[in-house]
Amino acid sequence: MRLLVVADPLASFKLYKDSTYAIMREAQARGHALWACEPKDLRWRAGRVEAHACALELLPLTVEQEHTPGIPWWRVLACESLDLTGFGAVLMRKDPPFDQDYLYATYLLELAERTGARVYNRPRALRDWNEKLAIGRFPQFTVPTLVSARADDIRAFLAEQGDIVLKPLNAMGGTEVFRLRPGEANIGVTIEVLTRHGRTPVMAQRFIPEIAQGDKRVLMIDGEPVPYMLARIPAPGETRGNLAAGGRGEARALGAREREIALALGPVLKAEGIFLAGLDVIGDWLTEVNVTSPTCFREITAQTGCNVAALFMDALERCIERG
């Protein structure tokens, strides 16, 4: 089949850890035709949604080359504007932030879906499932949480909980995540900056000490959990486990609690058209449901031999066959 990947610029990929790259490699190995574009390359014209996309051939690379910044890794075979219904699948893999441009892309992809295009994850789900707020659907698995733009709300929550994490609703990779405790000098300015002086809501959660053992990423593919997760362990002096913030990834088999959470969320995610999700679990608690461009494929595969990209493509091919 022809597979269209809508993503960030290819030159920005960090190959050694990029899950989109792993998916593309697996798809090419199976004989699928790869095409790629950026969200800005989508257009709606005469009732149809098209992408100005390029057909690609991925070049063979060694592991060492995949760690080399700027190395050429693809060859363009052709570029043209094509109706999205002409692809067997369209993968929306643009990284956050979920800004106005991202929102417009989901509108265009939903219009394409209405004419018969198969888009993964569903554009409506990308809009409806904010990666932080989505945990509100599953309060049985969450720690005390507040979402508010008001400084007095956040201060009261801090006083009540004694130790909290404050984070924006639209970022990724641990960006602008702060730990606050009563009596610290920068509480006021932290709240001001994150809420844009009371204009933008943010999420506050009770701090979970088990972060020291890792922020566990559980991957869900078509409603089913991958059997291994990646525990992202904070660097010394850090409270964020995100790999982008210097965390160390350690692959582990799913435990009983992670499996319980995954099995509870799986049917809901599948019904919503969320083909790929990344559940973040700290200790026994669900902290985020990542749906935009979940990662950790390569780390899990390298450490366990479980080919996550192959699991992804197996499930995608089954979906296409089912129609």
pTM recorded for the entire structure:
0.94
2-125 and 144-206 in the same fold = no
Rounded Cα distance between 93 and 49, Å, is: 18
214 DSSP assignment: -
Smallest CA-to-CA distance from 63 within 71, 54, 51, 52 is with 71
Rounded Cα distance between 165 and 132, Å, is: 12
Rounded Cα distance between 184 and 256, Å, is: 37
Please give the CATH superfamily to which domain 144-206 belongs. ATP-grasp fold, A domain (3.30.1490.20)
- Quickly name the fold that domain 210-322 has: D-amino Acid Aminotransferase; Chain A, domain 1 (3.30.470)
Yes or no: say if 246 and 232 are a contact pair by the CB < 8 Å rule: no
Q: What are the E-state strand segments in 200-275? A: 202-206, 215-221, 224-225, 228-233, 248-253
DSSP conformation letters of 33-63: EEEEE-GGGEEEETTEEEEEEEEEEEPP--H
Residue-range domain boundaries for the chain: 2-125, 144-206, 210-322
Residue pLDDT tens, the chain, 323 long: 999 999 999 999 999 999 999 999 999 999 999 999 999 999 999 999 999 999 999 999 999 999 999 999 999 999 999 999 999 999 999 999 899 999 999 999 999 999 999 999 999 999 999 999 999 999 999 999 999 999 999 999 999 999 999 999 987 766 889 999 999 989 999 999 999 999 999 999 999 999 999 999 999 999 999 999 999 998 876 666 667 667 799 999 999 999 999 999 999 999 999 999 999 999 999 999 999 999 999 999 999 999 999 999 999 999 999 87
Rounded Cα distance between 122 and 55, Å, is: 23
Rounded Cα distance between 251 and 102, Å, is: 31
- Quickly name the fold that domain 2-125 has: Rossmann fold (3.40.50)
Residues assigned a catalytic role: 132, 167, 217, 232, 240, 280, 288, 290
- Does an H or E element contain 111, and which? helix 100-114
